[in-house]
Chains A and B, each alone.
Chain A
Amino acid sequence: MATTTTAVGSDGISFDLVAPAPPARPRTLLFATALVAAACAMAIFAVVAIYLEARHGVRAGGQTWLPGGSIPLIGPNMALFTLLLSLLSVRWAHDAIAHDDRQNTWVAIGITLLLGVGFINADSFIWGGLHLGVHKSEAALLILTAGGMHLAMVIGALVFLLLTAFRTLGGQFSSSNREGVVAAALFWYVTVAIYCVLWYAIYVTK
């Protein structure tokens, strides 16, 4: 309900100060994005949980888990740093739109898109180098399933960011209505956070 306050103008006439009406769809997109991100995270974490449990079972039997015995960390580390850098650029986009700086918003989203594509390239390189065959072992099957799901999420987040960029270009977002940019940024943050979990569970602890 709007709050009403009576004020008196310089001409001595009193008038009502009415608080601005709330936006028609307050944070609807942001809220739904958070729900979808949570659902995506649960799906990927479920595969990680199964991966860890299966790895524990194999190791407890005295067998080797990874097909080649180990995974070099250089590739996964570079992929992680790429995504961590993108956190800065997506935050830049968020701040730029908050200051009605559309030019910087496009640039920041563009850089995030570039880093996202770079991550996909890095991920493909890692998998290619590992020669993981989905039919070869449990480890390969689960790594590719978890990684594939995350890759799908990255692609979805990039499409979301691209649409946001177009809508910003069309003048649909500003400092007073930046929900779309914030929602796309939130989805990207969750995508990066999930990769941090994958990086530690799969590549670091091996």
Chain B
Amino acid sequence: MALTQSRSDVTAVPPAQSDDPRPTGFAGVLGSGDHKVVGRLFIATSLLFLLVAEVLGELVNWDQVSPGSHKVFKGIDVNAFVTSHLIGVLFASLIPLFLGVALVVVPLQVGSRAIAFPRAAALGFWAWLTGVVLMGIAYGIHGGPGGSRPSGVDLWALAFIMLIAGLLLASVCVITTVFTLRAPGMRLTRVPLFSWGMVVAASIWLVTLPVLAAVLLIIYVDHHNAGIFLGNDASGATFNQIVWAFRQPQIYAFVAPVLGIIGDIVPTFARARDEYRHQVAQTFIGMFAVLGFGAFTITSFNSGPRAVLVQTPLHNPVVIVMSLLIILPVLGLAGLWADSFRRGHAAGAKPAKGSPLAFAGVTLALLLLGVLTGALIPIQRLKLNGTLFSDGHFEVVVGAGVTGALAALYYWSSKIIGRRVLDVGGLGVAALALFGTLALAAGNMLPGAFGKGAAKVQGTETYNWITVLGGGLVVLAVALAIVNLLAGLRGDSLPADPWEGGLTLEWATDSPPAYDNFVEVPPVGSEAPLLDLRSPEVAG
């Protein structure tokens, strides 16, 4: 008998529980290399930071209701709260939230038993978390861009670099998993859209976030030593050097994963498979992410201490063309997904309903609004660049990112927390997020469009109140989503596929998945392997 053959008369004995070498409890969380544990850590902390960042933004809105007087920050530098809101919502919340979901879901979707370099993913989380905490401390000691304490400004720059390094490390793990650890039969053209969206988005992050880190390093070296470029930064010139990361086109790259999230939710709920449209959708998502590459809009460091460049140089033909072209993939995907429901209906399938679909609809609507309004900003004649209109555009695109991330949490909650998030609450949260973001955007965009400039001035009070209302609704939506998630933890255990229509591999494993994900990875012959198993007659 060959050594590799198994004897039929030998029964495999599972190892006793006490023999399991893996640590449990707090040690199991701190030292875990399980991609699901690391992903949950990312999700939990970034949700908390999202709530904090949105509250900070709302406090700023309150403070600026009456232009010329401060309602909240009397005698305090309001710029620190503005920048901490902007940085917090993107780098401490949204991007890590996408990465957290990806760390849990991507290996399951591609049929892998683990993430590539699990320890590096864990290191990425702890580096990111340390960076966020240090940045919070820097703001607390009057650091941050334009801060009054020099050591605090230095700490802010170094903490930001550390935060970016952590995000990049986790991104490398996600991309490598999709490219090298796919199950047999899982070609790149069959990779589920969320995994694909994460690959293309994280690839763009990988070539743009290092540029941001390099700029921050120059800021640190300059500020720590001489102040040749930025002087004492009394006017906030420091933040102007990195503002390109918060404006289009770069902002689109940060929210690109939402298209993949919607792309996975729609076929499940429409009860229709994508077939060749899957590759079309992959192309559109890739196009969206590539058109979000914005490192070339980096502002120049000018010689001599000065406060310059409050706006990114968007008035050039390349940016104008990119801003117009990026509408196409969003419209194309919207058409594909509408067609999915039409085909599902034509085939006699009753479309399912649920919170993820509501969030997906809100996300798509906000993203469409974002790219349409974004196309107006580079048009020089409209004079919108650098005005409140740009701020409103940021809020819309980030709003799409937040609702997209919440859609992912609701959709994959059975894989993330092992339970389903309260479904009834989800619909209300989606509505709150939609109306809140729209109000937040309108309160900024309208005065910007009516020539009120870059700051809130006399005559914008009504709009300011709309902004306060919108910000409040968004804070409420995020808080309720967190409460729903926590309430869901006490719910009943779920089957492998609680939606009863999942098409991709993650729905073939337990909820929550076991340590090594799969007992046996199902065969993959198309973009919807589980549908092939359920109804082979419609496969292909």
What residues make up the interface of A, taking CB atoms closer than 8 Å to B? Answer: 1, 25-28, 31-32, 35-36, 38-40, 42-44, 46-47, 49-50, 53-54, 57-58, 61, 134-138, 141-142, 144-145, 149
Q: Residue among B175, B185, B218 with the most chain A CB within 10 A?
A: B218
The answer, yes or no, to whether B188 is at the interface (CB within 8 Å) is no
Our pick among A27, A28, A43, A136 for the contact of B211 (Cβ within 8 Å) is A43
A54 touches B176 (CB 8 A): no
The answer, yes or no, to whether B217 is at the interface (CB within 8 Å) is yes
A135 touches B226 (CB 8 A): yes
* 7 closest Cβ pairs, A-B complex: A43-B210, A135-B226, A46-B214, A46-B211, A42-B210, A43-B214, A28-B180
- Supposing A1-B184, A54-B301, A141-B221 touch, asked if A32 and B116 sit within 8 A by C-beta, the answer is yes
Query: How far is A40 from B301 in the complex, measured between Cα atoms in Å?
Result: 21
The answer, yes or no, to whether B222 is at the interface (CB within 8 Å) is yes
Contacts of A141 in B (CB 8 A): 218, 221-222, 225-226, 228-229
* Chain A min CB distance to B190 (Å): 13
Q: Could you list some 5 contacts between A and B, CB below 8 A?
A: A28-B117, A32-B172, A35-B172, A43-B210, A135-B225
A145 touches B172 (CB 8 A): no
A138 touches B229 (CB 8 A): yes
Contacts of B116 in A (CB 8 A): 25, 28, 32
A35 touches B226 (CB 8 A): no
Contacts of B217 in A (CB 8 A): 43, 47, 145, 149
* Chain B min CB distance to A160 (Å): 14
Q: A35-B176, A141-B229 are in contact. List 11 more A-B contacts (CB 8 A).
A: A25-B116, A28-B117, A28-B180, A32-B172, A39-B209, A40-B210, A43-B217, A46-B295, A47-B218, A50-B214, A58-B303
- Supposing A1-B184, A47-B214, A54-B300 touch, asked if A42 and B226 sit within 8 A by C-beta, the answer is no
* Chain B min CB distance to A88 (Å): 29
Contacts of A50 in B (CB 8 A): 214-215, 218, 298, 300-301
A31 touches B180 (CB 8 A): yes
B228 touches A138 (CB 8 A): yes
Q: Residue among A32, A144, A145 with the most chain B CB within 10 A?
A: A32
Contacts of A49 in B (CB 8 A): 298
* Chain A min CB distance to B329 (Å): 24
B210 touches A39 (CB 8 A): yes
Query: How far is A149 from B213 in the complex, measured between Cα atoms in Å?
Result: 11
CB contacts under 8 Å to A, within B174-211, are: 175-176, 179-181, 184-185, 206-211
Our pick among A31, A58, A144 for the contact of B221 (Cβ within 8 Å) is A144
* Chain B min CB distance to A36 (Å): 6
Query: How far is A57 from B228 in the complex, measured between Cα atoms in Å?
Result: 14
Contacts of B210 in A (CB 8 A): 39-40, 42-43, 46
What residues make up the interface of B, taking CB atoms closer than 8 Å to A? Answer: 116-117, 120, 168, 172-173, 175-176, 179-181, 184-185, 206-211, 213-215, 217-218, 221-222, 225-226, 228-229, 295, 298, 300-303
Our pick among A36, A40, A145 for the contact of B218 (Cβ within 8 Å) is A145
A42 touches B211 (CB 8 A): yes
- Supposing A35-B206, A38-B207, A137-B228 touch, asked if A149 and B176 sit within 8 A by C-beta, the answer is no
A54 touches B221 (CB 8 A): no
Our pick among B172, B208, B215, B303 for the contact of A36 (Cβ within 8 Å) is B172
Query: How far is A39 from B164 in the complex, measured between Cα atoms in Å?
Result: 11
Our pick among B176, B295, B298 for the contact of A28 (Cβ within 8 Å) is B176
Contacts of A1 in B (CB 8 A): 184-185
* Chain B min CB distance to A159 (Å): 15
Contacts of A137 in B (CB 8 A): 228
Query: How far is A87 from B229 in the complex, measured between Cα atoms in Å?
Result: 37
Q: Residue among B116, B184, B221 with the most chain A CB within 10 A?
A: B221
B179 touches A31 (CB 8 A): yes
Closest to B179 in A: A31
A134 touches B225 (CB 8 A): yes
Contacts of A43 in B (CB 8 A): 210-211, 213-214, 217
Contacts of B172 in A (CB 8 A): 32, 35-36, 39
Contacts of A134 in B (CB 8 A): 221, 225-226
Closest to A44 in B: B214
Closest to B215 in A: A46
Contacts of A136 in B (CB 8 A): 226
Query: How far is A12 from B310 in the complex, measured between Cα atoms in Å?
Result: 82
Query: How far is A40 from B213 in the complex, measured between Cα atoms in Å?
Result: 10
* Chain B min CB distance to A94 (Å): 20
Contacts of B303 in A (CB 8 A): 54, 57-58, 61, 138
Contacts of B181 in A (CB 8 A): 25, 28
Query: How far is A170 from B229 in the complex, measured between Cα atoms in Å?
Result: 50
Query: How far is A136 from B227 in the complex, measured between Cα atoms in Å?
Result: 10
Q: Residue among B117, B176, B215 with the most chain A CB within 10 A?
A: B176
Contacts of A53 in B (CB 8 A): 300-301
* Chain A min CB distance to B309 (Å): 12
Closest to B171 in A: A35
A42 touches B207 (CB 8 A): yes
* Chain B min CB distance to A9 (Å): 15
* Chain B min CB distance to A40 (Å): 7
Contacts of A27 in B (CB 8 A): 180
* Chain B min CB distance to A39 (Å): 5
A57 touches B207 (CB 8 A): no
A142 touches B211 (CB 8 A): no
* Chain A min CB distance to B163 (Å): 15
Contacts of B298 in A (CB 8 A): 46, 49-50
* Chain A min CB distance to B51 (Å): 30
Query: How far is A39 from B226 in the complex, measured between Cα atoms in Å?
Result: 28
Query: How far is A135 from B228 in the complex, measured between Cα atoms in Å?
Result: 7
Contacts of A47 in B (CB 8 A): 214, 217-218
Closest to B168 in A: A39
Q: Residue among B120, B172, B185, B213 with the most chain A CB within 10 A?
A: B172
* Chain B min CB distance to A2 (Å): 8
Closest to A65 in B: B303
Contacts of B168 in A (CB 8 A): 39
Q: Residue among A36, A39, A142 with the most chain B CB within 10 A?
A: A39
Query: How far is A145 from B218 in the complex, measured between Cα atoms in Å?
Result: 7
Query: How far is A40 from B210 in the complex, measured between Cα atoms in Å?
Result: 7
Query: How far is A135 from B298 in the complex, measured between Cα atoms in Å?
Result: 24
